[in-house]
Structure 1
Amino acid sequence: MLLNELDLPWTPKYIPFTELKTPVYEAINPNGRLLSIEDPNTGTTIWESGAILEYLVAEYNKEHKLSFPAGTTEYYQAKQWLIFQVSGQGPYYGQVFYFQYLFSEKIP
């Protein structure tokens, strides 16, 4: 979504789960997990959703169309919500998805 908001062209790559824990993918993301991006404009590879968002904003949002200037109160408040999402809300939603849709045993 952020790539679209920044009007950046992008091409998704399908990576089967069976290929995540392989040396080829772990060279891109040592955790062997999704999400990662490879920026052809800079040669930069970034993984982890929060780091990807911060990279894209820093690299391609110089006019602050979608962010706030560094050092402002709004900048730190936006960073606060990003960290809340990636460290709290995101992992909890991941657990809900796992136990509701992937874990076959129903525990009362």
Structure 2
Amino acid sequence: MFDASVFPITAKWPAQHPDRLQLYSLPTPNGVKASIMLEETGLPYEVHKVDFATNDQLSPAYLSLNPNNKIPSIIDPNGPDGKPLALFESGAILIYLAEKTGRFLPLDAAGRYHAIQWVMFQMGGIGPMFGQLGFFHKFAGREYEDKRPRDRYAGESKRLLGVLETQLGKHAWIAGDEYTIADIATFPWVNNLVGFYDAADVVGFQDFPRVQAALEAFRARPAVAAGLTIPG
């Protein structure tokens, strides 16, 4: 049996079920990518809350798994070649879980890379831009007298939504007619933008009806509804 104690993080977050995949996360847009994917695939897993309020992410235990002190991170006791695998970065985790299960990533090479390019689009564009808009619209940045930073990120967020709107005019989902990890990567951020960040008016979300419809279809999936609340 896998010995979880070989990973220092388990001293702070003991594994009650060491035979299951261990998830260290919070229900943020990046965090729920992993929980939604795990719910979608049905892989057995155990979740551990990394509480930012108490700086869990800066603890030596967590940094031993993820030196970048972000969430999510995982330990899979049944990784490649039957050996345990520790992994961080939400995009990498999505790709890994898709390849592990053979789900939500096309099996043909062209389709696979087509989906992965849209995951990278989210990682390099939508996540950083929507996150900065959230800071300048909802958090400390909203007190800044100079509104040019907010407007800069609002404009770029609108542009990115426009890219999604065009793509969703061609297909039911972002990478094609099948639901993939590109959708699991992207729609938690869209959901957060118009929900938690309350920035729908700022980006003119009403002007993107295809994005709205796809977001509703995403939310309607049972695995998404569950994953959005994990860890509770």
- From 130, 135, 144, the counterpart of 1:93: 130
Is 1:68 equivalent to 2:106 in the alignment? yes
Q: CA deviation at 1:66?
A: 1.8
Partner of 1:19: 56
Deviation per CA, 1:37-61, whole angstroms, max 9, x where unpaired? 1213332111111100011011122
Q: Percent identity?
A: 35
- From 9, 21, 27, the counterpart of 2:44: 9
Deviation per CA, 1:34-87, whole angstroms, max 9, x where unpaired? 1211213332111111100011011122xxx4221252x211110110110001
Letter in 2 for 1:27: S
Is 1:59 equivalent to 2:100 in the alignment? yes
CA distance in 2, matches of 1:47, 1:33: 8
- From 27, 32, 48, the counterpart of 2:89: 48
The structure with the largest helix share of the pair is 2
CA RMSD of aligned residues (A): 1.7
TM-score normalised over the length of structure 1: 0.84
List structure 1 runs of 4+ shifted beyond 6 angstroms. Answer: none
Q: Which runs of 5+ in 2 are unaligned?
A: 1-35, 148-232
Is 1:33 equivalent to 2:74 in the alignment? no
Higher alpha-carbon deviation: 45-54 or 2-11: 2-11
Q: CA deviation at 1:21?
A: 1.7
Higher alpha-carbon deviation: 78-87 or 12-21: 12-21
Letter in 1 for 2:105: S
Higher alpha-carbon deviation: 92-101 or 42-51: 92-101
Q: CA contact under 8 A between 2:57 and 2:69: conserved in structure 1?
A: yes
TM-score normalised over the length of structure 2: 0.42
Larger-gyration structure (1/2): 2
Q: CA contact under 8 A between 2:106 and 2:112: conserved in structure 1?
A: yes
Partner of 1:77: 114
